[in-house]
Amino acid sequence: MNHDVVVVGGNRTPFAKSGGPLREASNHDLLTSALDGLVARYGLAGTRVGEVAAGAVLKHPRDFNLTREAVLSSALAPETPACDLQQACATGLETTMYIANKIALGQLTHGIAAGTDTASDAPISVSDPLRRILLQASAARSAKARLAAFAKLRPSHLAPLAPRVEEPRTGLSMGEHQALTTERWQVTREEQDEIAVSSHRHLAAAWESGFFDDLVTPYLGLAKDAILRPETSMEALAKLRPVFGGDNGTMTAGNSTALSDGAAAVLLADAAWAKEQGLPALARIVDAEVAAVDHPTGADLLLAPVAATGRILARQGLSIADMDLVEIHEAFASTVAATLKAWQDEDYCTSVGLDGAIGTIDRDHLNVTGSSLATGHPFAATGARLVPTLAKLLHERGPGSRGLISVCAAGGQGLVVLLEAV
Amino acid sequence: MSVLEKAFTSPVGRKVAAKAGLAEPPRLRRGRTYPSGPIVLAALGDSTLGADTLTLLGRPYEAPVLDSGDDPVPGYGDRIGALVVDATALTRVDQLEQLRAVLRPAVRGLEGAGRIILLGRPGTGDWEQRSVARALDGIDRTVAKELRKGATSNLVRVAEGAGPEQLASTLDFVLQGRSAFVDGQTWQVEPADEVAPHSQRPLDGRVIVVTGAARGIGAAIARTLARDGATIVAVDIPAAGESLAAVANEVAGTALQLDITAPDAGARIAAHVAARAEGIHGIVHNAGITRDKMLANTDAARWASVLEVNLVSQMRINEVLLDPSVDGGLLSGGRIVGVASTSGLAGNKGQTNYAASKAGVAGLVQAMAPDLAARGITVNAVAPGFIETDMTARIPFVQREVFRRSNSLSQGGRPVDVAETIGYLLDPASQGVTGQVVRVCGQNLVGA
């Protein structure tokens, strides 16, 4: 890379459970709000930003140009170009790398990467018979023909089709896939509930300390993450019934992420340009690696980041012990647990092409301000939440501090990014 | 809006109210506008201060009509826009007759939203001289109460050694619509070095921090200062971040979500500025809260929270920003503006805690001003009276209407009126104005 790319800072809306306080907001609204908060924090109102890249996983057809439209609704100069990207739950991290790579190549001085999702305003489609009837009616040349078309309508045709969160090639939902992984890696209920409790405790402490004062801007009257349960405990979580893995399953609503609404954005810049502009710099984006596994033939759907982690560390000549902080996206508590087990498993690591086991990290350095279990996980937003959060944490630890972000995604994919504090 | 308020503000209601003596309040002149009629200058004695200052401002002026003392009173013909009386040379009680002689025709011929501006001296010299200085104050306050149609009267005391350069920003402010809701007031201009030249965009390139900027008066301050060229750092509590961001984006400034009572608030403001600019040119301590209860029902928590937010936090922030070793602190020649309140100066039932904090702000700026003079830093406060905001809109209608009309302009002020006064105090040309508390209250009937 020719140019050093730095994370200037970030902004997000508070996250909330779908159907909750942000249910009236569309992806367009959420993304615009996240952008406007970022623009206000860094004094970008009326300026032309090099490019804005964002995406949403659950996207209405009308949002074919979601990011550009949000830019036009925002306080940015209308001459700011934009594009939509999508890589399932890694979208916010992929948009980060898209902008970062352009900056590194000297094509941009600065840009904004973002992601948004709303499970409250998911695109609901109509059944195939209803679609055919509507098409026929619209093509009809007479009232009689139109009536004839509608006469075929049956009540069952009217049931809306919600988007399915399942893998097209296996027919299994993400939770069902993770239940297989949970069993294969023998992740206990207790391990999972501990991760969930720790996520809530850490996030609550971060809010309490004012950590999010310059990372979150309230939206629609919601000032804090609404999924957060500071008082949750092992006892309270132990009472929940399993939702994946059958009656003897260990995955519950308490240790799985909730369907969420929210948006996040991160401001990236060429290091020299940021300095010229009097903008702060938190951390440098060092490298990124994407990986995929063959889940249709049985590979663990959400463990693709393991291979990416091994490869990126090898390329950088670093070991996992060199990481001061690590963020592993909590798709499910058991994803984090299985990832940590896989890192230490020589056989697994070599089976995905690595030279050996990745190793282990001190749990005190993992997800130190909580992660998706407590915060929520609006799919495309999570990556753009993680980047500024980790950048700020590393910056607070001092120059040279290193951190790694690991995000799993649908389709058996995983994206890993390395940051280093400046 | 209550049924009563709807009825009162309907066309029929307005007519009935007018018959009952509650006429439509006069329209005030606002913004960077001068009176439409001519400015008349009356120099009593041999002072040229008023003339020199008007010349410096590039404002032409005319000679006054003098009253002979009998009827009929000689008139001006057309309405005049303002009368500036340079009374800085007056020292004897019998000379006050000269003041009467220029005021009598002028108050009869003054246009709506016109200006009477008295220039006097601070109370120094012998017993009679000091008595005369105070007499001007009584005249100003009374003229302000007698003037109609939104016209105002104010007294500016110019200390010996302060010349046109020091007075220019003040005279311009009082002449212009910016001082719309400042009436019957007296404040002082001191000698000062390095006074910036007068400008209509005085805050160009200056970094101004405004606390409590998310709404109401704070948002108006941000907008008004941005109009005058300032780069705004808009501060408010994190929970108000959504409207704070909207204000910051509107004025192309930056938003800083911060609880000013946090121990590190000053350091965080400095750090925010340090990355972006050389330092802070001015800070407006506008953030404030009320926790109203009669004293008999005021517990320690209500007491403490109001004092903490309205007074203690700004003392703590000032301490950090005034430390010359802090990057992003207040620069030499900088400005500190506090927001007091007529409730603090006059007292207000149910607001002991609030009055303590706001009178405390007035005391604080008076105490700090002399100590910071050597660094060219001025410290002043505004004291708003009844201002139309979301906060005052919650007062029951009848009570609100009474508050509105309890001043010489028969109406509530607007947030922009407070903002304009703050802008004047922040002006680099206002170097000679320090340790002052300027009320923005339309000459509220209560208060000293």
Q: Which residues contact A143 (CB under 8 A, 6 or more apart)?
A: none
Residue B80 and residue B217 share a domain: no
User: B211 phi and psi, to 5 degrees?
Assistant: -90, 155
Note the pLDDT of residue B448.
47
Cα(A91)–Cα(A413) distance, integer angstroms: 11
B11-18 long-range contacts (CB < 8 A, ≥24 apart) are none
Residue B179 and residue B268 share a domain: no
> How do strand A260-270 and strand A16-17 relate by DSSP bridges?
antiparallel
Q: Nearest-CA neighbor of A331 among A266, A263, A244?
A: A244
Give how far B368 is from chain A: nearest CA, Å: 31
Q: Which of B242, B254, B258 sits opposite A218 (nearest CB)?
A: B242
Tell me which residue range forms the domain holding B375. Answer: 207-440
Percent of chain A exceeding pLDDT 90 equals: 86
Q: Which of A120-124, A257-261, B171-175 has the lowest mean pLDDT?
A: A120-124
Q: Which residues contact A317 (CB under 8 A, 6 or more apart)?
A: none
| Chain CA centroid to CA B28, Å | 15
pLDDT in tens, A319-363: 999 999 999 999 999 999 999 999 999 999 999 999 999 999 999
Length of chain B counted residue by residue? 448
The last residue of a domain, from among B140, B160, B189? B189
Burial of A231 (0-12, 13-18, 19+ CB in 10 A): exposed
Residue B222 and residue B117 share a domain: no
Judged by CB atoms closer than 8 Å, whether chains meet at B276 and A217 is answered as no
- End-to-end CA distance of chain B: give it in Å, rounded: 33
Write out residues 195-254 of A within 8 Å (CB-CB) of B: 210, 212-214, 216-221, 223
Number of domains in chain B: 2
Catalytic position from the list B34, B61, B76, B354: B354
CATH number of residue B423's parent domain: 3.40.50.720
Cα(B17)–Cα(B30) distance, integer angstroms: 26
Residue B61 designated active-site: no
Helix locations, A345-417, DSSP H: 346-351, 372-375, 382-397
CB of B262 less than 8 A from some CB of A: yes
- End-to-end CA distance of chain A: give it in Å, rounded: 17
Q: Nearest-CA neighbor of B100 among B134, B129, B135?
A: B135
Cα(A196)–Cα(A256) distance, integer angstroms: 8
Residue B94 and residue B225 share a domain: no
Q: How many other CB atoms are found less than 10 A from the CB of residue B315?
A: 14
Average pLDDT over residues A89-102: 98
Give how far B233 is from chain A: nearest CA, Å: 9
pLDDT in tens, B1-34: 677 777 777 877 777 777 776 778 999 999 999 9
Residue B222 and residue B125 share a domain: no
Positions of A annotated as catalytic residues are 89, 377, 408
Any idea what DSSP says for residue B372?
A: H
What angle is formed at CA A99 by the lines to CA A96 and CA A104, rounded to 5 degrees? Answer: 115
Instruction: Answer yes or no: are the C-beta atoms of B387 and B339 closer than 8 Å.
Output: no
Provide, as residue numbers in chain B, all residues whose Cβ is less than 8 Å from the Cβ of A45. 248-253
Q: Which of B239, B275, B277 sits opposite A280 (nearest CB)?
A: B275
Dig out the tokens for B356 from the structure.
């303590």
Note the pLDDT of residue B89.
95
Residue B180 and residue B213 share a domain: no
Tell me which residue range forms the domain holding A364. Answer: 174-210+285-421
Cα(A175)–Cα(B239) distance, integer angstroms: 35
Dig out the tokens for B318 from the structure.
């000032």
A216 in a domain, yes or no? Answer: no
Cα(B368)–Cα(B370) distance, integer angstroms: 6
Q: Which residues contact A171 (CB under 8 A, 6 or more apart)?
A: none
Instruction: Answer yes or no: are the C-beta atoms of A51 and A82 closer than 8 Å.
Output: yes
Provide, as residue numbers in chain A, all residues whose Cβ is less than 8 Å from the Cβ of B219. none
Prediction ipTM score: 0.89
pLDDT in tens, A129-142: 877 888 888 888 88
Cα(B337)–Cα(B284) distance, integer angstroms: 5
- The string of DSSP letters for A208-244 reads HTTGGGGTB--BTTB-S-SS--TT--HHHHHTSPEEE
CA atoms in the 13 A half-sphere facing the CB of A259: 16
Q: Is the pLDDT of residue B197 over 80?
A: yes
A33 in a domain, yes or no? Answer: no
Q: Nearest-CA neighbor of B270 among B241, B235, B221?
A: B235
Cα(A128)–Cα(A157) distance, integer angstroms: 8
The last residue of a domain, from among B155, B189, B223? B189
Number of domains in chain A: 1
Average pLDDT over residues B305-313: 97
Note the pLDDT of residue B281.
98
A152 or A403, which is more confident: A403
The last residue of a domain, from among B189, B218, B246? B189
Burial of A37 (0-12, 13-18, 19+ CB in 10 A): buried
B9 or A112, which is more confident: A112
Note the pLDDT of residue A182.
96
Note the pLDDT of residue A162.
64
Mean pLDDT of chain A: 95
Provide, as residue numbers in chain B, all residues whose Cβ is less than 8 Å from the Cβ of A278. 275-277
Cα(B14)–Cα(B349) distance, integer angstroms: 30
Residue B338 and residue B245 share a domain: yes
CATH number of residue A339's parent domain: 3.40.47.10
Q: How confident is the model at residue A155 (pLDDT cuts 50, 70, 90)?
A: confident
A244 in a domain, yes or no? Answer: no
Dig out the tokens for B25 from the structure.
């309040």
Q: Which of A47, A207, A214, A396 to mutate to probe the B interface, most B CBs <10 Å? A: A214
CB of B327 less than 8 A from some CB of A: no
B30 in a domain, yes or no? Answer: no
Q: Which helix (H) or strand (E) holds B114?
A: strand B110-120
A80 in a domain, yes or no? Answer: no
B339 in a domain, yes or no? Answer: yes
- The string of DSSP letters for A51-106 reads -EEE--SS--GGGTTHHHHHHHHSSS-TT--EEE--BTBTHHHHHHHHHHHHHHTT
Q: Is the pLDDT of residue A1 over 60?
A: no
Percent of chain B exceeding pLDDT 70 equals: 99
Residue B159 and residue B92 share a domain: yes
Residue B77 and residue B46 share a domain: yes
Residue B132 and residue B65 share a domain: yes
pLDDT in tens, A386-410: 999 999 999 999 999 999 999 999 9
Q: Which residues contact A3 (CB under 8 A, 6 or more apart)?
A: A103, A104, A105, A106, A270, A271, A272
Instruction: Answer yes or no: are the C-beta atoms of B39 and B60 closer than 8 Å.
Output: yes
A97 in a domain, yes or no? Answer: no
Instruction: Answer yes or no: are the C-beta atoms of A63 and A27 closer than 8 Å.
Output: yes
Q: Is the pLDDT of residue A158 over 80?
A: no
- The string of DSSP letters for B299-344 reads -HHHHHHHHIIIIIHHHHHHHHHT-TTSTT-EEEEEEEEEE--HHH
CB of A36 less than 8 A from some CB of B: yes
Residue B216 and residue B270 share a domain: yes
Average pLDDT over residues B342-346: 88
Note the pLDDT of residue B403.
87
Axis crossing angle, helix A66-73 with helix A27-41, rounded to the nearest 10: 50
pLDDT in tens, B244-256: 999 999 999 999 9
> How do strand A402-409 and strand A413-421 relate by DSSP bridges?
antiparallel
Cα(B402)–Cα(B410) distance, integer angstroms: 9
Residue B308 and residue B257 share a domain: yes
Average pLDDT over residues B315-336: 97
B275 or A211, which is more confident: A211
A293 in a domain, yes or no? Answer: yes
Note the pLDDT of residue A302.
97
Minimum Cα–Cα distance from B272: chain A residue: A280
